[in-house]
Chains A and B, each alone.
Chain A
Amino acid sequence: MSKEPVAVVGVGQTKHVAARRDVSIAGLVREAARRALDDAELSWADIDAVVIGKAPDFFEGVMMPELYLADALGAVGKPMLRVHTAGSVGGSTALVAANLVAARVHGTVLTLAFEKQSESNAMWGLSLPIPFQQPLLAGAGGFFAPHVRAYMRRTGAPDTVGSLVAYKDRRNALKNPYAHLHEHDITLEKVQASPMLWDPIRYSETCPSSDGACAMVLTDRAGAARAPRPPAWMHGGAMRSEPTLFAGKDAVSPQAGKDCAADVYRQAGIADPRRDIDAVEMYVPFSWYEPMWLENLGFADEGEGWKLTEAGVTELDGDLPVNMSGGVLSTNPIGASGMIRFAEAALQVRGLAGEHQVEGARRVLGHAYGGGSQFFSMWLVGSQPPAS
């Protein structure tokens, strides 16, 4: 039995901000869902199932919040699934929803991911002391900074590369009305002069804390034929996981990330990602992760990723644009961040990305990761239906 092709026909986001004090959690998710439905010109009744994802429940202080959100998402009387795979969850959630369509269990599925970080403090939510376990050292930055340092040492990349990524992503965000940070007066000098938070990661090279939600409507071939706007077609999708810590783990370029990308490329018939893929939305919460993931995903040889960044290849008008939306560095509602990558990839191949549109983007990769660089989810979407 061949799989049903999966199309993205609706994308919706909230305007991501530090604190959405004007809406409840239900109000936040409903806003994104409503916009995705509007984009697809569908109503709640057209949705067969809802798949929702978010990062740890401690971030809002609500246990299994999908139970409370069933009404707001029009899920009453329908199947509702809640995915949680750490930071990769936004991507994983979309893939679980896509499988429902691919397996022909449902025709049209609403998938949504969110975080309302202003309800609590994510850094300390991640840092609860657990007896007999290594502490996470004040949130994710403390955990990842040594891995960045290892990358710098391994490749001999100049200290400035991280600031180039941050400067690019924050300028891209100015072209994205939904991005959280809109720093109109940003300069490279300001990025490089910002305070050091977790050496070598500076304040301007780290992601903000955001309230936001992202939703997509996924549908089958028949649903895509009825869509009012061009759909994005899924050409490949995969998840891979590996343990947090073990002897021999490559924290700089984890095997799970390489395997996940290889699986997606195999499904999509990508022989050379650098040549065959037009743009990438990747999960870069700390600036240096751009060159690190360029290598991990096969866009550059080992040790060469930073040279693409330095040469301007990943700029919006470069040869391989990366994080056209402004990326996680400009917007980070944690649980939603992966889905935003997937949704931005879809917007690009649909030609609906507005001011941050890459001209002629036909195949775009969406990427998310989480945990201690151990959970990966990715999809490749195209402007044309998959060949088979």
Chain B
Amino acid sequence: MTREIAVVAFAQTDHRRTSDELSEVEMLMPVLHAVLDQTGLKTADIGFTCSGSSDYLAGRAFSFTLALDGVGAWPPISESHVEMDGAWALYEAWTKLLTGDADTALVYSYGKSSPGSVRDVLTRQLDPYYVAPLWPDSVALAALQAQALIDAGDTDEPALAAVAARSRTDATTNSHAQLRGSVPQGDYLVRPLRTGDCPPIGDGAAAVILAAGERARDLCERPAWIRGIDHRIEAHGLGVRDLTDSPSTRLAAERAGAFERPVDTAELHAPFTSQEVVLRKALRLDDSVRVNPSGGALAANPVMAAGLLRIGEAAARIHRGESDRALAHATSGPCLQQNLVAVLEGDPR
């Protein structure tokens, strides 16, 4: 019998273009307090802590150690860190809870894109010998993918504009979102992608609390049970991938049990409109599924936290009784190279 594990609390910052006046720790602290307050837990009550962040955004080595000071790791805590989006920190915490070594976990992630040029920074993720020296930026690579989709007949520019408009309209009810309401599609940033097809650049943080079994029911009226979670990576070389498809997302979804029964909600980590097209196809989502009611990454995309935000948003809808079975997705790397899928369910009402 596998342990049942649930997301029992979720908190996030108001995501903003810049948070010059705040250090990463100062940005994170209110979110940690908020998520702990929801459950009444204190740092000392948490069995395991895991975070996700990137030194390259912070511009310094071991940047996560400062965040740890903010958590308050005294007396010493059982703690780990992934140099990945917080969704993968949640995955590590989930395995820790599965072993029975801990009953509760605090997961957080944060990123400040404002101090640098994030398009340039992300080029440092690419093959350092053959690709990174050419500095192809994240928008240019996404544009390659978008053009491949248009060429394959999977989408067109008006359809992409509709994704952008729907996301920002939905974001009007999300007070944390950075880009809301009527946003012009704008000029081409890198053809065929217009500014409206691209995510806002911004700073933000997210945190969730996981709990196992009865502990979850004690801490949350309607826990969002993680029925399955899996992640898969694809080849790094864009030339060996079919950019119009996402086999890693499909495989992760299969392993997470996403296709066993339909979901009513999907929070997809698609920073570019065109990537929602790829993900909808890979996940076989039809129009009956509510996609990105939060506005998704097109409304707020704090790098390193945007994936954890998707899991948090999906879980929060279950907590509020607005969803019974939701899919959450996170991505990392150029053109959706690495993908994580979680399936969350609430108890029957």
Contacts and interface: CB of A to CB of B under 8 A. Distances in A.
A313 B234 CA distance: 50
B275 interface: no
A254 to B, nearest CB: 8
Interface in B46-77: 49, 54-56, 59-62, 64-66, 68-69, 72-77
Nearest to A79: B231
Interface in A62-93: 62-71, 75-86, 92
Contacts of A118: none
Contacts of A100: 95
A: contact size bracket? 35 or more
B133 to A, nearest CB: 11
Interface in A233-271: 238-246, 254-256, 259-260, 263
A96 interface: yes
Given A1-B100, A56-B62, A57-B55, A242 B128 contact: no
Interface residues of B, number: 63
A59 B77 CA distance: 27
Contacts of A176: none
B76 A77 contact: no
A359 B301 CA distance: 56
Contacts of A374: 65, 68, 73
B83 A70 contact: no
B235 interface: yes
A82 B99 contact: no
Given A84-B81, A126-B61, A255 B75 contact: yes
A100 B128 CA distance: 30
Given A62-B128, A103-B98, A241-B77, A86 B83 contact: no
A126 B125 CA distance: 20
A265 to B, nearest CB: 15
Nearest to A248: B74
B309 to A, nearest CB: 19
Given A58-B55, A62-B128, A63-B54, A259 B64 contact: no
A239 B236 contact: no
B122 A63 contact: yes
Most buried by B among A69, A79, A259, A260: A79
A385 interface: no
B233 A1 contact: no
A130 B60 contact: yes
A3 B84 contact: no
A208 to B, nearest CB: 19
A76 to B, nearest CB: 5
Contacts of A375: 79
B230 A244 contact: no
Given A84-B64, A242-B74, A70 B234 contact: yes
B84 A239 contact: no
A200 interface: no
Nearest to A259: B76
A84 B289 CA distance: 36
A240 B79 contact: yes
Contacts of B1: 1
Interface in A351-374: 371-372, 374
Interface of B: 1-3, 49, 54-56, 59-62, 64-66, 68-69, 72-84, 88, 91-92, 95-96, 98-101, 121-122, 124-129, 132, 230-237, 247-248, 251, 332-334, 337-338
16 contacts: A55-B61, A57-B54, A62-B125, A63-B54, A64-B332, A67-B236, A68-B128, A75-B233, A99-B92, A103-B95, A105-B95, A240-B78, A241-B77, A241-B79, A243-B69, A246-B69
- Which 8 residue pairs are nearest across A and B when measured between Cβ atoms? A56-B61, A103-B98, A256-B76, A63-B124, A241-B79, A84-B83, A63-B56, A67-B333
